[in-house]
Chains A and B, each alone.
Chain A
Amino acid sequence: MSLEAEVLAALSTVLDPELDEPITDLGFVRSIEIDEHGVSVHVRLPTSFCSPNFAYLMVSDARDALRRVEDIGRVHVFLDDHHDSEKINAGMAADAGFRGTFGVEAEDSLDELRLIFQRKAHTAAMERCIEDRLKNSGLAVSDIYRLRLRNLPGGQFKEALLRRRATLGLDIAPDSSVFVDELGVPVPPDDIPLRLRFAKSVRISIEGNSHFCRGLLATRYEDEEDLATRITNTRLVTRSAS
C-alpha cells in the first residue's frame, strides 16, 4: 500500500461521532500533505458553529490514527474555519487534551459523550438489520426475540452491526441475540415492539443529521472545485528503499 493510501486508510477509521460515518466519506478532510518530516492534515466542518466537543473528538482521533501509521514522522492535524480553530489547533500542538484545550469551559473528558453516540450508532445499526429481516423474510415482530446474529445474511448491514457491537464490547458470537440493550442484554420479548419503534427514531435522527451536514458542507465550500481531499506527497524516499 502506498503511503498516501495508508494515511487515507488511517483517516477513514475516524468517525463523526454524531453521524456515525467516516470523516473521509463526509468530505471533512480537506487536504493531506506528506513531506520528508511527516504529515499535515487539514480538517473542515459544515459550519463554523459545529460543536467544539465533536470537532475536538474528530481532530484528536485523526491525530491518534495517523500516529499509528508506521514511519509517518511528525503528525499535524489542523481544524480550519471553525470558531474554535485557534484553540483546538493550539491544544493539538501542545497535546493538551480536551480539558487543557478549553480550560474552564470544559468540565471533563469527552468519553461519556462519545459513548452516548456509540450506543446510538449501535441502536441504529440493529434497527436496520431487523427492519431488513421484517421486510425480506417471514420474520414477524413477535419473533424478533428469537433472532440470532447467525440468522442475519451477510452484507453491509450485518458488518456495520458487528462493528458497532465490537466497539461497545458486546458479544458478537453467532448465537447471540440481535436485539440487545446498550449493555448487550437481550431485550425481553414484551418490550421489543416499543424499543424497536424507538430504535427507528434513533436511526432516522442519525440519517437526517448526515444529510443536513453533507448539504451544509457542500454549500459552504461550493466555490472549491470539488469536495474531494487534496493529497500531495513530496517525500522523496519511499519506505521500501529506506
Chain B
Amino acid sequence: MSETRTKGIVVGACMLAAGIAYFYVTTGLPRRGAIDAAFFPYALAILMIVLGLLQVMASWRRSPEPADAASQDEIAKATLAADSEDPDIPEGAKPDYLSVVVSLCLIAGFTALMRPLSFPVAAALYLFLQFSILSPAGKPVPHVLHAVLAVLIATFVFLLFRYGFGLMLPAGPLTPYLR
C-alpha cells in the first residue's frame, strides 16, 4: 500500500518539477503585451504546476491507484486491466532495469555511429547486441545465428530504402563503393 502511495507522490513530484522547469524556461521568452508568444507557455506551466500539486496532494491523502480504480466505470476498469497485462513479463518476475539501460545505450550508440560507421554497419552491430541481450534465458544464446540475421537484416533494410525508396541512408566509409 505504501508503495503505491510513494509512487503516486513521486509521479506528482515529477509532474511538479516538469511544470517548474517549463515555467523557468518560459521566463526567458521576450514579452510583447499580455497576449503574446509567452502567454500560452505561462498558462501551460501554471497548469502543470497545479496538476502536479493536485497529484501530490491526492497521493498524500490516499493510495492513488485504488481510488482511481474506484472512480472508473466498468469500461475503463476493463481497459486498464487489459493494458496492464504484459505478456512479456512472466508473473512474479521483476522488471529488469539493467536491460532497459543497456538497450537505451545500444540505441544511443547506434544513432551516434550511424554516420561515422554507415547505417548498415551500425544497424548490424546494434541488432546483434540487442538480439543477444533480449534472447530468452535458460537457453544458449545462438550468437552465429544472431550475427547472420543482424547482417542480413541491416543490409536488406539499407538496400531496400536506398535503392527501392530513394532514401539516402548514411553510407559512411561505404560511400565510394556504392552507386
A pairs with B: no
